[in-house]
């Protein structure tokens, strides 16, 4: 058997200027009394997207989702769905369904009745409802459990029922409010992939709210990082991770070394950053030409930092230090290296071999190095 590469069009409607977004927020502000939950926010979400709203609790992501569901009305601004203004349309009249964090399964109804609940409220004929319920049960692999009550099934199964119920009416938009927060880690990871499969199969637009950055990175086609009611960056997971717009995003997503400094030389695509007395200048490649003397911050992911016992000869950047701490995670090890000026740099090494003797131990003098393109120069 051989695998052939199939050329598939890249799914990126946000790059297409002619694409019409499914959802548009325009200058939306939401205030609760004096508290501003969402401030002058504009955002477009396209059909078939798996869109993640990511941020710490209280950042306004849930409010944003509840405005899409119809449970909150914006104080000012416009929200359109499919080109239609949906402000003032009650939740039961929107082609939008929501999967609640608590699942909100009706405890007095069976699994099948829960899934049929929304269909019975529509004008679908009775025999079609039964067929649709069976279809949804099969989709979430719960065909045998239709007759059970919610308290008679496991947490993971309840999560699937909630998903099936929200999808049963074939909504234009499915909202998922922290859908996997109640599951344990292993099940959560499995379910993330299942969610992606289901989303791909149905082609429904999904908007997921989560505070778990790994979850957002795994499932989403685009991630919106939020903070204090504002969008900080809206990009694909790769761009968010490799090209964070500012320190907040770099720090919030994944692990990062942030090195504050000033531009001491700038020529063409490269620049040099002076960051501490007695330390060598760091070579980096900023995305735009920066003026000499501008303050900046070099953000480097730990996995892009190498560690060696001898001074590397070919590295663009190399600094000496000693091992302060070692975190062994099984698949990788994280070394905390303290430099002579006290700064701690994190370096990650993949544990390729099972029986290798660890090359470094506590207090060992080491060199950390990284290429000129490894880090991102942030000015914000």
Partner 1 sequence: MNFRRLFLIAVPYSWLLLLFLVPFGIVLKISLSDPALAIPPYVPKFELAQGWAGIKAMFAAFDLENFVYLTEDNLYWKAYISSVQIALLSMVLTLLVGYPIAYGMANASEEWRPTLMMLVILPFWSSFLIRVYAWIGILGQNGYLNQLLQALGIIDEPLVILNTPIAVYIGIVYTYLPFMVLPIYATLEKLDGDLLEAAEDLGCSRIKAFWLITVPLSRPGVIAGCFLVFIPVVGEFVIPSLLGGSRTLMIGKILWDEFFSNRDWPLASAVAVILLLILIIPIVLFQRQQQRQQEAER
| Interacting residues with partner 1 (CB under 8 A) | 69-71, 90-92, 96-98, 100-102, 104, 106-108, 117-118, 121-122, 151, 165-166, 169
Beta carbons of 192 and 215 less than 8 angstroms apart: yes
Contact present, 99 and 166 (Cβ < 8 Å): yes
What is the rounded CA–CA span in Å between residue 37 and residue 108? 35
CB of 53 vs partner 1, minimal distance in Å: 18
Q: Looking at beta carbons only, is 98 or 234 nearer to partner 1?
A: 98
Distance in Å, CB of 308 to partner 1, minimum:
54
* 359 CB-contact burial (10 Å; exposed 0-12 / middle 13-18 / buried 19+): exposed
Collapse the DSSP code of 77 into the 3-class scheme (helix H, G, I; strand E, B; otherwise coil) and give the result: strand
Distance, in Å, from the CA atom of 306 to the CA atom of 316, rounded to the nearest integer, reads: 12
Q: At closest approach, how far in Å is the CB of 268 from partner 1? A: 55
CB-side neighbour CA atoms (13 Å) of 67: 27
Nearer to partner 1, 175 or 378 (CB): 175
- Minimum distance from residue 109 beta carbon to partner 1 (Å): 9
CB of 44 to partner 1, least distance (A): 23
- d(Cα 24, Cα 27) in Å, to the nearest integer? 10
C-alpha to C-alpha distance for 41 and 214, rounded to whole angstroms: 24
Q: Tell me the closest approach of the beta carbon of residue 55 to partner 1, in angstroms.
A: 21
Nearer CB in complex with partner 1: 152/341: 152
B/e letters for 294-304, b = 16+ CB within 10 Å, e = fewer, are: eebbbbbbbbe
Task: Identify whether the C-beta of residue 220 lies closer than 8 Å to the C-beta of residue 244.
Answer: no
Helix (H) / strand (E) element for 195: namely helix 185-202
Q: Give the shortest CB-164-to-partner 1 separation in angstroms.
A: 12
Q: Which is nearer to partner 1, 74 or 118 (CB)?
A: 118
Q: Mapping DSSP to helix (H, G, I), strand (E, B) and coil, where does residue 255 land?
A: coil
C-alpha 298/C-alpha 211 separation (Å) is: 25
- Give the nearer residue to partner 1 in terms of CB position, either 113 or 214: 113
- Using alpha carbons only, what angle is made at residue 322 by residues 366 and 358, rounded to the nearest 5 degrees? 60
User: Rounded to the nearest whole angstrom, what is the least distance from the CB of residue 77 to partner 1 in the complex?
Assistant: 22
Nearest-approach distance from CB 188 to partner 1, in angstroms: 20
Distance CA(30)–CA(40), nearest Å, equals 8
CB 129 within 8 A of CB 119: yes
Nearer to partner 1, 113 or 364 (CB): 113
* 251, 258 contact by CB (below 8 A): yes
Nearer to partner 1, 117 or 248 (CB): 117
Nearer to partner 1, 168 or 374 (CB): 168
| Minimum CB distance to partner 1, residue 94 (Å) | 8
Residues in contact with 227: Cβ distance below 8 Å, sequence separation at least 6, in sequence order: 55, 56, 59, 248, 252
Question: Across-strand partners of 257?
Answer: 300
Quick check: 369 and 317 in contact, CB under 8 A?
Answer: yes
């Amino acid at each position: 058997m051989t695998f052939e590469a199939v050329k598939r069009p890249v799914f990126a409607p946000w790059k297409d200027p002619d694409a019409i977004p499914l959802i548009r927020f325009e200058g939306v502000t939401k205030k609760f009394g004096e508290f501003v939950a969402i401030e002058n926010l504009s955002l477009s979400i396209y059909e078939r997207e798996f869109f993640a709203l990511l941020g710490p609790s209280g950042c306004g992501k849930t409010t944003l989702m509840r405005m899409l569901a119809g449970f909150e009305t914006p104080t000012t601004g416009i929200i359109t769905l499919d080109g239609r203004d949906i402000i003032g349309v009650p939740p039961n009249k929107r082609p939008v369904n929501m999967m609640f964090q608590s699942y909100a399964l009706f405890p007095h109804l069976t699994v099948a009745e829960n899934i049929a609940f929304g269909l019975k409220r529509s004008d679908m004929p009775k025999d079609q409802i039964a067929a649709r319920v069976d279809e949804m049960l099969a989709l979430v692999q719960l065909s045998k459990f239709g007759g059970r009550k919610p308290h008679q099934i496991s947490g993971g199964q309840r999560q699937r029922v909630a998903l099936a119920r929200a999808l049963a009416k074939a909504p234009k938009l499915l909202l998922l409010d922290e859908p996997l927060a109640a599951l344990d880690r292993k099940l959560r990871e499995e379910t993330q992939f299942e969610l992606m499969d289901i989303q791909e199969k149905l082609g429904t637009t999904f908007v997921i709210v989560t505070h778990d950055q790994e979850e957002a990175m795994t499932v989403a086609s685009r991630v919106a990082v939020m903070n204090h009611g504002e969008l900080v960056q809206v990009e694909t997971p790769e761009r968010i991770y490799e090209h964070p717009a500012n320190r907040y995003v770099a720090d919030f997503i994944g692990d990062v070394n942030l090195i504050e400094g000033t531009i001491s030389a700038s020529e063409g695509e490269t620049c040099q950053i002076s960051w501490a007395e007695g330390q060598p200048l760091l070579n980096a490649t900023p995305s735009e030409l920066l003026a000499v003397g501008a303050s900046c911050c070099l953000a480097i992911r730990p996995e892009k930092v190498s560690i060696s016992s001898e001074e590397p000869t070919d590295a663009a950047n190399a600094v000496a230090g000693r091992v302060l701490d070692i975190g062994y995670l099984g698949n990788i090890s994280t070394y905390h290296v303290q430099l002579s000026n006290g700064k701690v740099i994190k370096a990650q090494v993949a544990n390729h071999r099972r029986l290798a003797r660890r090359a470094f131990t506590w207090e060992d003098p080491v060199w950390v190095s990284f290429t000129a393109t490894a880090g991102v120069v942030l000015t914000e």
